[in-house]
Structure 1
Amino acid sequence: MTMADKHSDKKENIKEDQEAVTEKDEDTAVEDDEVVTLKKQLDEAQNDYLRAQAEIQNMQKSNQKEQSNLVKFGAQGLAKDIIPAMDDLKRALEVEVDDESGQQLKSGIEMVYKHLKKALTDNNINEIDDANVEFNPELHQAVQTVAASDEHPSGTVVQVLQTGYELAGRVIRPAMVVVAQ
């Protein structure tokens, strides 16, 4: 082999190496594009997964809160049904009786009233019936006003006409009151 042949072979080898490098660069460029696309898809899938997880957690919290409220305020419907009966019993107790049988009947009504009141209290249902307190529009419904005095300053509940009720801080029925102005 002559020197010219060797030189020619080297040129061919260099040319082949350059073509191989060019092919590798093209393959690498294609692979880089695929890697970028796959990374983008992976990021999107991870974001979708995280959003779905957050949504599930929010739904769980919402359900827990709803269940807690159901437990907390579950007695509200029953209370609304019992409260009118409590009002009737209270009015019956206000009636004056003179004879023995009337006293016995009143005593029986009082026992029923106390048992119902205890059942309501045991279920976190409390009366709103305080006089001589500051008028609170969230707890009281003013149905009448009277002139303020030294005994009853302006904005004070003078008399409770109808007892109100609340369940765990939520007003079931406001107390109907007379307010000093």
Structure 2
Amino acid sequence: MSEQKRAPETGGDASENGTAQSNAQVNEATAEAEATAMADAAIGDPAGEKARLEGEIASLKDKFLRAFAEAENVRRRAEKEIQDAKTYGIASFARDVLNVADDLARALGSVEAEAKATAEGGFKALLDGLELTERGLVRALEKHGIRKIEPKGEKFDPNLHQAMFEVPDPSVPTGTVVQVVQAGYVIGERVLRPAMVGVARGGPKAEANKATGAA
């Protein structure tokens, strides 16, 4: 029995190779398309992307300005608090010192003008020492922003003065301070102690007096 030679089967392999190459090309094209799509998606519309970025920049700028303004406000408040502490921190101590100033003023006020003019020897030295001490105390208070209120002859101001009584006096406008019972003091822009005063009544009104003077 004779054996017949089998022909090589080459047709199937060629077909499979062609199919594989086609599939590889398709896959490569698909990958390129997906990469292009992803790039387009990442870039998006140039005009829209620009608008979005500008919006983000504006938002960040607004947040920065708000934060900067808040920090500036905090800094200013801290500076004011420090300044107030320096200016008004001695208010309680200053009120106690005012009692000493009042005692000195009363001591000097109790001596009659004639006695001061004719004082000699130790009495004169005592008076000079009291006056020197009073002037030094006033300078020390002024050095720390404490000023004496001298309201005599001025219009009564309830923010600075405390009316103790009224004085009938038609020669001056009503509401004029004609007597100071106790001196007042201010520290910085605040009243440390109001001046206790006597106020005139019975005279012309201050507004009418001013209008007459202007005319």
Matched, 1:175 2:195: yes
- Residue 154 of structure 1 aligns to a residue whose secondary structure is coil
Aligned to 1:4: none
2:164 to 143, 156, 174: 143
- Residue 41 of structure 2 aligns to a residue whose secondary structure is helix
Counterpart of 2:149, as a letter, is: I
After TM superposition, give the deviation of residue 146 of structure 1 in Å: 2.0
Aligned to 2:95: 80
Counterpart of 2:73, as a letter, is: N
After TM superposition, give the deviation of residue 177 of structure 1 in Å: 0.4
Aligned to 2:71: 56
RMSD of aligned residue pairs (Cα, Å): 3.7
1:26-175 aligned within 5 A? 28-29=40-41, 32=44, 39=53, 47-96=62-111, 101-150=122-171, 152-175=172-195
Counterpart of 1:171, as a letter, is: V
Q: Determine the C-alpha separation between the residues in 2 that align with 1:67 and 1:27.
A: 59
Counterpart of 1:147, as a letter, is: P
- Residue 116 of structure 1 aligns to a residue whose secondary structure is helix
Deviation string 1:109-150 (CA, Å, 9 cap, x unpaired) is 222112101212233322112311111111111111122411
**Ranges in structure 1 where 5+ consecutive residues have no aligned partner:** 1-8
Deviation string 1:47-93 (CA, Å, 9 cap, x unpaired) is 44443322222211222222333344455344222111101111111
Counterpart of 1:167, as a letter, is: I
Pick the structure with greater CA Rg.
2
Q: Determine the C-alpha separation between the residues in 2 that align with 1:103 and 1:95.
A: 14
Counterpart of 2:97, as a letter, is: I
Q: Determine the C-alpha separation between the residues in 1 that align with 2:33 and 2:58.
A: 32
CA contact (8 A) 1:140 1:177 kept: yes
Counterpart of 1:155, as a letter, is: G
Task: Give the percent of matched residue pairs that are identical in Structure 1 and Structure 2.
Answer: 33
- Residue 136 of structure 1 aligns to a residue whose secondary structure is coil
After TM superposition, give the deviation of residue 17 of structure 1 in Å: 7.0
CA contact (8 A) 1:92 1:106 kept: no
- Residue 89 of structure 1 aligns to a residue whose secondary structure is helix
**Ranges in structure 2 where 5+ consecutive residues have no aligned partner:** 1-21, 202-215
After TM superposition, give the deviation of residue 24 of structure 1 in Å: 3.3
After TM superposition, give the deviation of residue 22 of structure 1 in Å: 7.1
